[in-house]
Structure formats: C-alpha cells, structure tokens
Structure 1
C-alpha cells in the first residue's frame, strides 16, 4: 500500500499539503470575489483559479513558475478564443478540433505537460457551453485570467514560504520508496515467495524508486542550499549511499535457498532486512514531521540468533563451502546496512552548515532540465509519431462526444461528456483502461455520496465545507489513487450545482448518463489510430543496451583506478537506471494491452531482471573493495577485474578466469587478502549474469523479428 493511503502518514505528505493549498486558494479566492461581486463573476474567477491549480505540482520554484505561467496564458487564450467563436457553430467546432489537437500535441514534452493538456481541454469545454457576444467573451477571458493569475501569485508565495517543507516531504517520499524496495529484498529469503516473481517485483520497485530519487535530486540539490537545508543535503547523500549498499546485498538467492531451506537462517535474514525496511521508514516518517529521527529498532536479538545459527552449522563439505561463504558475506553486508541506517539517522539530526559535497560541484547532469523547443513539437507532426496519432484520436473523440451529447433525451451538458473523454483517453492504452474503470466507479460513488449530502444538508455553510473537502481531496490523490480523485471531482461539480442552483433536479442522473456516454466514446477511440507499446520496444531496448555499455565502462574506470572520482560512475548509473525504468514501465503498460498486441513479455522480463542484476554486481564489487582494503594485492585484483570486464564487454564470460599469476610470492599475498574469495565469487556471478543477459537480448531480437547480424550468444547490452 502506498504510504499516502495510510492516515498516519497522509497528513504529513506533500500530497495532502498540495490538496490543502489548492482548496484554500480556489475556495478562498472564489469567496473573496463573491464578497465584492456577483455570483457569475465569482464563478468565472473560480474556473480560472481551479484550472491553474491543476498545474500546481511539486517542482523547483523556477520550473513551477514557468509551468503555471504557461497554464495561465494558454488557458486564458483558449477561453477567449472559444468564447469569441461560440456564436458561429461551424467555427466553434473547428476551433474545438484544433484546440483538442494542439493541446494533445503538447504531451510530446513529457509527463510535466500532461496537466497542461488536460487544463486546456477543460477550459475549452467549459467555455463552449453557451454562445457569448464578443464583449461577454472578453469579459469572461479577463476574469479567467484574473482568477488564474491570482491563484498563481498565491501558490508561488505559499510554496516559497514552505519551500524547505516541500523538500523535506519529497525527500521523505524517496525514503519511503527505499523502505519498500528493502522490504521486497527481505521477501527474497522467504521460501513461500517464487524467486523469479520476487525479482520482477524488485525491478518494478527499483523503477519507482528511481523516479522518487530524481524528484529528490531536483528539489534538494538544485541551487545553493540555505544553512537550514544542509541537513536535507546530508540525508539525501546518505540515502543514496544506503541505496547502493542495499543494492549490493544481492546475492545468489537460489544457492542459499537450496542449502538452507527449512532452517532458521533464511527467516532470520528476512527478519533482519524487514526490520531495516521499517527502520528506513521511521526516518522518512520523522522527516515528514520536521523532526530528527533516532534509532528505535533493535537488531541485537536477530544478529545474535543468526550468529549462533552460523556457528551451529555442521562442518561443510566442498559442495556446501561456497554456500557458507555466500551466507557469511550476506550477513556482513546486512550488518553494514544496519550501520548505514544508523548513519542516516545521524544525518537527520546533524548540525547545520556541513555539506557532504565538493564546493562548486556541477550537479546539472543529475537534475531534470526543462526543454520546450518548438522544434520538438514540429518534429512529431508526422503520421508515424505516437503523439501525433494520440492528438488526432483526442480531437476526433471530443468532437464526437460534443455532437452526440445533443442527441440525449434531456438538456445535456456536453462538456461533461467531453470532460470524461479527456480524463479517460490517454497516450497509452494501459492508462486509458485504468482511467476508464476509475472514472466510472468514482463518478457513481461520488453521485451517491453527493445525493445523500444534498438530501440531508441544506445549510450553505455546511455544503461549502463539503466542497472544500472535495476540492482538497481531488489533487491529493490524483497521482496515487485516481478513483478517489474521480469521487472528489464528481462531488465538487455536483455540490457547486447544489449551491448555485438549489432546485436543479436531475443533475446527478444526467452526470451519470454523461459519464457513461463519454466512457463508451473514449473506449471506442482507444482502438482508433493506436500506438501499441511493442512498437516502442526496440528503441527502449537499444537505449538500455547503450546505457549498459557506458555504465560498465564507467564502473571499470572507477574500480581499476582510472577515474579521479566517482562522478562519471554515478551519472552513468543514473542514466542506466532511467533507461531501465523506462523499459520496465513500457513492459508493465504492454501487459495491460490486448494479448494480440503483446510481444516477448517473458524475454523482456528476463532482460530487465538481468540488467538489474548487472547493476547490483557493480555496486557489490565497489563496496567489496572498500570493505577489504588491508593487504589488498592491487596488481592481481586489477588483473582479475580487467579480465572480467573484458569478458563482460565481449559477452564471453561464462566462468571466472583462472589465476595464472606466477608463484613468485604474489600467491601468498592473494591468500593473505580476505577479499580474494568474495571477489572471485562476485566476478563469477557477474560473468554468469552477463552471459544470461546476452542470451535474453538475443531472445528479444528473435521475438521482435530484428536482424541485428550478431551471434545468438551476443548482445549489444553488455
């Protein structure tokens, strides 16, 4: 369950703060306007404020200003244009098609442009409801702009005042995701969990974690931190160090299960990592409450029990020796992870002023950049572009929705049908399918709840209170549980009708019928000019392959001492994680599409898991060398690493290279170094998984019908 869905954590999250901020701004601005003007004026201002509030998302201040200003200007222009064209039906329909198409083309700029697309469509629908004279259109556009600009000013002021609080909450969300990731790791030691399925869950969670970590980077590391933000930077860096350690705890789970099933060892390992997940969660919870965190979880009983269980194991034969070594290495890493969590607690309570990064370090490559070039949009004005086809699909569906609303046996509000289409119809089939269900169920529940409220409550002040709650709930759950947002949106609309038209009977039934009609139209058009996920898979697989090669090269440079610091390693690891997350997300969306449109799901699952394992091995190698610095035979270690990396790059690594170092005393030095055996085991696993990655890459090429002119045992991925 997402942490926001628990009441204990909901009220400290940035989702709740955003919902509360939006409700206060929209309802407060509406009430203020109504105090000085009439109801129609207040409603026009309210629409401007409401539309602008949909752009009020957690972002760096400069990005937020740009996004909200774009929303105010674009939507004011749309409101004015549609209002001026409303008296001429053929012109109005032409503008509706054009605006629908252009607004949907804006999704080419990525996830941040999705709210702007919806807001533009929302404004267009509301403004097309009734014919207006040019003077009325100008007045409505001016009031809309005033409402939008007023809300933007209010929101920017509040976010500026609470900017440290927002950074805390976004950083805490990344910690919550890290806790969930660690909890899934604990499940790998549970024999009741099917290991391949558990690994797939781990990869999916790693993708979600990467998104939250990027949001934390964008807020915490952008610009020069203030003195009171030094703690946030410290926690952020400690979080990433802990993440790399948790990542490195990947081991040969199948070997451990084979040799220690039924005994106390595996449950104790799972319990320890499960406790670590709850410990990380306690840091996140303390941060959302603006408090330093302190260790509250005691690991001593499990550590003593596991240590005793290890000593009680019978003498190992040659077959069990490797499993024992893997088990002890895992135990050591878990203890390191517990120590790192203690450091995370300490970072949250550290004194101000100390920043764990080099002065003047250029962090730009780690941060999300805004790029809204007109050339990007123009380059997608082609038939093969998924965005272009989506824009055509939306324009046709909304046009049909507005036309068909006029055929209903009651005075329909066509904008509600079109709004349902805009909510449901998304660039990919998977999201469209989910939104369709949530919209139907949410509207039904919202209508029932509103009917009960309007039947029992008649006092305007109480109804305004319910309206405030609905207005706050909508944005709170928008990206977490859209069904709740659909419930809130239905209640918000119907409560407004109840307040402004107390005798507007039939509104609830009409909204239900309009929603059903919009759902049917959106469902039909989701199959028109489709862009199925499998069509994008070759590009995504190639992107992972390219990022993989660069990450391996960066890791080799770092481990072999050819890099001055770990900057290039970290940036290439980030890019590798991002590309792997994109592929994993596309795979998840494809599995929601019709079976006839799915390609190579098993091979892609295997490919993503093997890439994840490669990243885990690299992290483990790095920490292994840091763990055993004493008596390290540098020349022999570098020779073993170079040999392994060469084999990984050429996809020939199926077994570790044998030690061929002449016995001139160096063999003695190797034997004296405690890290040699763990290094050999890790390099063996690395080469095994690289070979498996080669096979899975070749299987994907075969399943997708790609002729890449390479042997079946090779892939570009490594």
Structure 2
C-alpha cells in the first residue's frame, strides 16, 4: 500500500509539472526576468522595479490562448493600468482624493467581470495597477509630477515589452499547449470512465477493486468532482457516486471548452488535425459512456447478471487505464504505446451479442405491454462497451499517428466551436439590472476597498497600506464559496511566504539575485493560481515583499514581515465580512440556469430526432446537432457548478438541493436516451426510414419540445396525461445486419425520453415553487423549509 501511494504521488507530481499551467508559469517568469533584467542593465534597479510592475500587471492576463486575438486579449490591462498607475502616484499627498480614486477604480475595474472568464483577469489587473501604484515611494517635494511620469514611463516600457514577448511566446508554445490540453482532456475522460465503471455494479459492491483507482493530475476534476463526492449524502440521498458522476461530466464539459479554444483553432497542419480529431473522438466516447447509464437500475436488480456486470466493469476500468497511459505519453512527448489486448475481457460480451435471438419486424403496433428482458438490457450494455473499446482504440490510433482524423468534421468544427476573441458591448448591457452579479460584486468590492483604506490610515505603518487593499482584492471573489475557499489559504500562504521572503532579504542578494527571486515567485504565483492557491499565495507574498524592497531600497525587513502578517489578517477579515454585503446568492441565478438547461435539452432532442439527418448530403444537420449537444452539456455544467458553490452559503439561502440534483440526474438520463437514439439513426444513415419510424420521431420531438418549453402550470397539470405507455424491447441492440430490429428499441427509447421530459418539467416547476416559497419566508422559517426540502 505504501508503494502504491508513493507511486501514485509520483505520477501526480509528474502530471502537475508537465501541465500547461506550469508551462505558462515558466513562460511568464522568463518574460519577467528578461524584461526586468534588460531594464536594470540599461537604466538601473529603480527603473527596473517600476518596469516589473508593468510586467506583473500584464502577466495577470497572460494565459494559454488561441494565437488569433492574443494581442487584443491582453491589451486592455496595460492600457487601462498605466494611467491609473500614474494618477495614484499624483495623489500621494492627497489622501482623500487617493481613497476616492481607489474606490472608483475598483468599481469600474470589477465591472469587467461581466465578460466572464475573459474579463476577470483584466478586472484583477486594473485594480492591481492601482494597488501597486501605492507601493511606489513618495518623491521629494516639487518632484511629484516628474517622478510619477518617469515611473509610469517605465511601467509602460515593461508592459509593452512583455506584451510583445507574450504574443511571441504564445505562438511558439502553441503546439505544446495543444498537446497539453488534449492530455488534460484525456485524463478528465479517464476519470469519468472510471466513475462510470463504479456505477455499473450495485451500490453495495462498487468498492470492489476500484476504491484504490484514481486519476490524479487532471485540470478540472480536482477542483470540482472530488469536492462533490459527498454532496448527495448531505441531502439525504445515498447515491454518492451519482453525485460524483455528474460532477465528472460537468468537469469534462469545462475541460472540453478550454481545449476547444486552443485545439480547434486553425487545424491546418497534419499534426494539428490529428489532435483536433482526438478531441472530437472523445466527444463520441462521452456519448457512449452516457448511454451506458441507461437501464442499469434494472440490471443491478437481476442476480443472474452479476457475472456479466463484473466483466463490463472490468472492461471500463481497463479502458480508463488505457486513456491514462495515452495522456501520460502525450505529456511526456513520447509516442503512445499500442492498445492493450483486451480480448479476454471483451469475449464474454461479444459472445453474448452474437447469441441468436428471435427476429422482429418493423410493422409493430404503437404500444406494447411486455416487460423488458434483463438479458436484452445486458446485451445492449455489452454492445455499448464494445463500441467504447472501438472508439478508445481509434483514439489511441490517432495518438500514434496510425489513424487518419475525419477532416470533414474537423474543418466543420474549426470556427463553430471556438469561443469568440473580439470584445463585445453585449455583456455590458446586462449590468443595467440591479440584480446583475457583476454589478453587485463591483459595488461590494468598492465598499470593501473604501473600508480597508480607512482602516489602514489608522495603522502606524500606513505607508504600506497597499498590502491590505491587495489582500482584499485577491480574497474577495464573486461568490461566498470562492471567498471562503481563499480566506484561510491566503493567510497560511502569506505566513509561509513571509518566512521565505525574510530568508531572501536577510541574505542581502545583489540586484540580479533579487530579480531571480522575483522571477521564481512570479512563476509560482501565476502557474498555480488555478490549481493550488496555497502556492500562489506564497509566491505572491514573496513577490510583493521583494518588489517593495526593490522600490524602497531599504527598511527594516523584520518589521515588514510583521506588518504583512497583520495586514493580511485585516484584509482577509474585511473581504470575509463584505462577502455578505449585497450578496449574489446562487439561488438568484438558478431560475435562469434551469430555464437555459430546459431550452438546451429541447434543442438537443429536436436535432437528435431530426429525420432529415438520415438523407442529408452535407454535414449541416450533424453540425447543428453538435452545437446543440455542446450547449446541453455546457448549460448542465454551469448549473452543477452553481449548486456546488451554493453548498458554502448560509443554510437559510441555500437552494432546494434535492430537487436540483434530481433535475440534473433526469437531464443526464435524457441526454443518454437521445445519444442512444442518435446512434441508432446513424446506423441507418442513407436508408429510407419506414413511415412508422418517421412519425414516431416527429411525434416525440414535438412532445418533448412542448413539454420542456411550455408554461410550467400546463406541464405540471398534464404531466401524467403525457406519460406514454411502457414499451418493450427486442433481445439485443440491432447491428448493421439486423436493421429491421430497430423499431422496438427505438420505441422504448422514445417512450422513456417522453417520460423524462415530463419529469424534467415537473422538477423545474418544483424548483421554482420552492425558491419562490423560501423567498417569502423569514430567515428562520426559510432555513427550516430548506432543511425539510432536503
């Protein structure tokens, strides 16, 4: 066991070092070193310190990004930061005006949060320019304007030089970033497949052979799925693995979008096309995995199916490990090893699928009253796992350059699935509402900065007041969950960083040595910002103290350490307190998120059941379906993450967790049914479907669309009337040679999809009713009602 733990830790460590976060941290650290050293050699240490501030502000927005639009993505930070840096220095002697400027700049800067993940780094960079402007020492009387202009000039020189460097470095590292994002996505898929393997067996036996199996080092799973393992147990539901399975799906959806922006940009060369083909191949595997969840509940209740379930679980686990090996090879820059021979695991499932069964005709009546055979359901699951094996084999073949990607799909997906790079005024229009979370967060942050500024003026060391404000900026986040997560880590990281900075400054290093320390601290702070915030807090503390020492060129190091610790405690306390001011509780966003999910599910069902895709001569229907599928998964991911953040909020304002989790589970079940139907239809592409099948597809699409998009009151009252009769199934999923057996399986899937659509709308109605009822209750009664609902 000790050997296993050490081996697992070493694998995790290697994956962490080879991740794109660390590579990006090394890239920005090298840029800081080159720019600061060049300025120091030409103009001296004092000007190098000012240039380093410009570099640090620009580094905030330097993340792996598509080559197209990289310059314009980074430009707003130094353009907005330089004049603010200048104005702060001009007001050194006017404390009231300086405080007003700090509050106003914080408010305006945090409005960039309206642009989401693209705008958040700019908001932090703008406010950071203001805060670091306070760290510049006051010049002698009569030299204020000249000193401010000079330091701002070198701020701009540093920012400009780094901006050019960052664009060039991003271009040079583009292919390596593509490989790293693909490897991260493969790891996330492996974690999802491993969790799906756990779901195959009954809950009492899920620990057999799998509790020790984990996929460490993936980009998003550690941050979302692992925290959600116990979420279902908190609401009284025993299905802990279901909660983690949905979280894994959400994590994989997030990872996919991050990879799309890099991997699907201009896949013109064979190497880029192969990586893009791997990304699209993983989408197909995800759909098959989701369909594997269908009918498992019935299979787990059949004791005679236990041996087959064990074989199916073992196969999924083996395939997950194949994905892990593929990801590790990509990260190490090695050619992946060939796919392992899994014939021994696949043989029972292949034999089961080849057993002769009674043939069924397409001319079946609309409804049946027969039960579904567990043997038939087991054969269907076996067929799916065999297909997953084929898809994984193709993915490994793409990684080994032995399989050619589908260039038609790659070219069609190039621009349709990449996030826009141009700045738009559309998000700004959303700030006109008082309930807009970015607006409320901007007001909250401005008020926190105002209080922090007043507090530091009362401290005996108010010359270093910027540290309190800096702590407020980095700790106070848009949600209470994120603020609480950073609160303790920030304090601990500051303490450790102070010890490291004390050792560095006590060594009395040369200017070049200090620049090297500054470089290392910046690389650590930037490289681990989204993975291990403790390291980021440590690096940022060293960075701030060493840079302040370079700007001030003296002072009592020991006393500065004490100041920083006290300032951090004060700033953290203020940020924690203001997290409850004008709060944007997650429950206020849930109605819109639920409605988005319903619309996305309806659109996905409509495109999945479209009859014209069977006779299409181009990829237009397929592209429409892929876009609808992406929105379905992305909307569900956004909902799951909102529910995850709500777990850290006060119990009185938490949403109805049980209703939301049932809603999420039904959404994934509906996606699984639609994926299964889509696979069935693609097996018949190019053939003329029977009029009966066409009519069933059209009726089901219209029923689901009406159920999910109609008025809630109608859905709630007519739900039972819309529930179709139970449909039977033949003995196995049809293969290409048995296409006449499609109709019974199709009828079963369509009937179940109608039921799930009805349940989805009922879940949505219940969520709205619970939210509305709790909003009208006093806090104590609301907390009691919330506890009763969960």
Q: Which TM-score band applies after superposition, normalised by the shorter structure?
A: 0.7 to 0.9
- Tell me whether 1:654 sits opposite 2:723 in the alignment: yes
Over 3 Å counting, the alpha-carbon distance change for 1:658 and 1:376 in structure 2 is closer
Residue aligned with 2:75, SS: helix
The answer as to whether partners of 1:259 and 1:320 remain within 8 angstroms in 2 is no
| C-alpha separation in 2, matches of 1:349 and 1:50 | 40
For residues 526-584 of structure 1, give each alpha carbon's deviation from its aligned partner in whole angstroms, at most 9, with x where no partner exists.
11111111111111111112222222211121577476531111111112222222222
- Tell me whether 1:166 sits opposite 2:211 in the alignment: no
Deviation at 1:650, TM superposition (A): 4.5
Over 3 Å counting, the alpha-carbon distance change for 1:466 and 1:260 in structure 2 is farther
Over 3 Å counting, the alpha-carbon distance change for 1:360 and 1:631 in structure 2 is closer
Over 3 Å counting, the alpha-carbon distance change for 1:311 and 1:210 in structure 2 is closer
- Larger mean Cα displacement after TM superposition, 467-476 or 538-547: 467-476
- Tell me whether 1:38 sits opposite 2:44 in the alignment: yes
The answer as to whether partners of 1:105 and 1:387 remain within 8 angstroms in 2 is yes
| C-alpha separation in 1, matches of 2:561 and 2:636 | 45
- Tell me whether 1:431 sits opposite 2:482 in the alignment: yes
| C-alpha separation in 2, matches of 1:520 and 1:354 | 54
- The 5 A counterparts of 1:328-367 are 328-350=379-401, 356-357=407-408, 361=412, 363-367=414-418
- Larger mean Cα displacement after TM superposition, 483-492 or 515-524: 483-492
Identify which of 753, 767, 772 aligns with 1:705: 772
The answer as to whether partners of 1:559 and 1:622 remain within 8 angstroms in 2 is no
For residues 652-680 of structure 1, give each alpha carbon's deviation from its aligned partner in whole angstroms, at most 9, with x where no partner exists.
55344669xxxxxxxxxx99834444334
- Tell me whether 1:252 sits opposite 2:295 in the alignment: yes
The aligned residue for residue 151 of structure 2 is 140
Residue aligned with 2:183, SS: helix
Deviation at 1:216, TM superposition (A): 2.2
The aligned residue for residue 229 of structure 2 is none
Residue aligned with 1:6, SS: helix
The aligned residue for residue 186 of structure 2 is 175
- Larger mean Cα displacement after TM superposition, 283-292 or 333-342: 283-292
| C-alpha separation in 2, matches of 1:456 and 1:143 | 28
- The 5 A counterparts of 1:273-672 are 273-304=316-347, 322-350=373-401, 356-357=407-408, 361=412, 363-370=414-421, 372-374=423-425, 376-377=427-428, 380-410=431-461, 413-451=464-502, 466-496=517-547, 501=554, 504-558=557-611, 561=614, 565-627=621-683, 634-651=690-707, 653-656=722-725
For residues 597-644 of structure 1, give each alpha carbon's deviation from its aligned partner in whole angstroms, at most 9, with x where no partner exists.
112111111112211211111111121344578999733433443444
- Tell me whether 1:683 sits opposite 2:750 in the alignment: yes
| C-alpha separation in 2, matches of 1:416 and 1:261 | 66
Higher relative contact order (CA 8 A, sep 6+): 2
The answer as to whether partners of 2:613 and 2:622 remain within 8 angstroms in 1 is no
| C-alpha separation in 2, matches of 1:388 and 1:216 | 30
The aligned residue for residue 711 of structure 1 is none
- Tell me whether 1:149 sits opposite 2:160 in the alignment: yes
The aligned residue for residue 786 of structure 2 is none
- Larger mean Cα displacement after TM superposition, 270-279 or 375-384: 375-384
| C-alpha separation in 1, matches of 2:66 and 2:703 | 43
For residues 104-155 of structure 1, give each alpha carbon's deviation from its aligned partner in whole angstroms, at most 9, with x where no partner exists.
1111111111111111111101112444511111111111010011111111
The answer as to whether partners of 2:475 and 2:487 remain within 8 angstroms in 1 is yes
| C-alpha separation in 1, matches of 2:415 and 2:687 | 38
Deviation at 1:485, TM superposition (A): 1.0
| C-alpha separation in 2, matches of 1:139 and 1:3 | 49
Over 3 Å counting, the alpha-carbon distance change for 1:145 and 1:704 in structure 2 is same
The aligned residue for residue 58 of structure 1 is 64
| C-alpha separation in 2, matches of 1:262 and 1:518 | 59
The answer as to whether partners of 1:228 and 1:353 remain within 8 angstroms in 2 is no
Over 3 Å counting, the alpha-carbon distance change for 1:197 and 1:319 in structure 2 is farther
The answer as to whether partners of 2:349 and 2:386 remain within 8 angstroms in 1 is no
The aligned residue for residue 220 of structure 1 is 263
TM-score, normalised to structure 2, is 0.80
Over 3 Å counting, the alpha-carbon distance change for 1:189 and 1:375 in structure 2 is closer
The aligned residue for residue 19 of structure 2 is 13
